[in-house]
Amino acid sequence: MFDANKATSSADSEKIVPRAEFRVFGQGIIDVVKPAMWKAQETLFKIRHSDETYVLSRHTNDANVKIRDGLLDIKTKLGETDEGYEIFQPRGKFQFPVKKDALAVILGNLQVNVELSQNNYSFDAFLSLIKTTDDLVSVGVHKERYGFSVDGVICEYGRILFNGAMVETSCVESEDYGAMEKVIDKLEISGFENVNYVRAAKRVTGMKC
C-alpha cells in the first residue's frame, strides 16, 4: 500500500499478485479505527501525503486511473471475493510522455472512444484531452494516509480531499480473505459499505456512479 512509486510496464504489472480490498469512506471513521487499532496493540508504521489526479469515466467504475508522482497509473477490477471484497489488478504505471498505444489501452479500459492524434502525450496534453472528452472528468485528490498492520494484514486510515471536500477512509488489503475478515471485525468497520476510490470520488463530486 505504501510501496515506492515507480514506472512499471504492463507485462510486469500482470505478474503482480492482486490483493483484495475492503475500503470505507465517510465521517467519524478515524474515531472508530484508531481506538480499535490501539486495542489490537498495533502502531502506525508510515505516514504519507500525496497529491493525485483521478480520471473518472461515466461508463465504468471498474478502471482506477490516476496520476501520482508523474506516473499514469491504472488498475482494473478482476472481480470480488465471496465476502464482497474487490480485487484490482495493476495494469501498469507509465511515465509521461505516455505513448499513444498505451494511452489507447487505458482509454479503452475507461470505456471511452477518443481519437488520439499524437504519438506521445505529455501530462498537460493528457489533461487537455480529458477536458475535451465529455465522458471523462478529472478530480484533484489529496491523501493523508496512515499505514499500519493488524495480524500481518495491511491496513490504513486517512483523510481524503476530493476537489477540496474532505472525507475519512479506512482500508484493509490482503491476499488472505479469511484474515481480512477478522481484521475488519477488529477495526469495527464491518458495518460500513465497501466503496472503492472511483465510486467515492463520483459520489463526492456528484458524478453518476
Buried (b) or exposed (e) across 15-52, using 16+ Cβ within 10 A? eeebbbbbbbbeeebbebbbebbeebebeeeeeeeeeb
Does this model's pTM top 0.85? My answer is: yes
Residue 60 has what pLDDT? 97
pLDDT 10s digits, 15-26: 557 789 999 999
- Averaged pLDDT for residues 31-40: 94
pLDDT 10s digits, 39-51: 988 888 889 999 9
pLDDT 10s digits, 74-115: 999 999 999 999 999 999 999 999 999 999 999 999 999 999
pLDDT 10s digits, 147-200: 999 999 999 999 999 999 999 999 999 999 999 999 999 999 999 999 999 999
DSSP letter string, 131-157: HT-TTEEEEEEEEEEEEEEETTEEEEE
Cell numbers 465522458 correspond to what residue?
135
The single-letter code of the amino acid at 22 is F
State yes or no: pLDDT of 70 exceeds 80: yes
**Homologous superfamily in CATH for domain 19-205:** Hypothetical Protein Pfu-838710-001 (2.40.320.10)
Strand partners, 72: 67, 94
Residue 198 has what pLDDT? 98
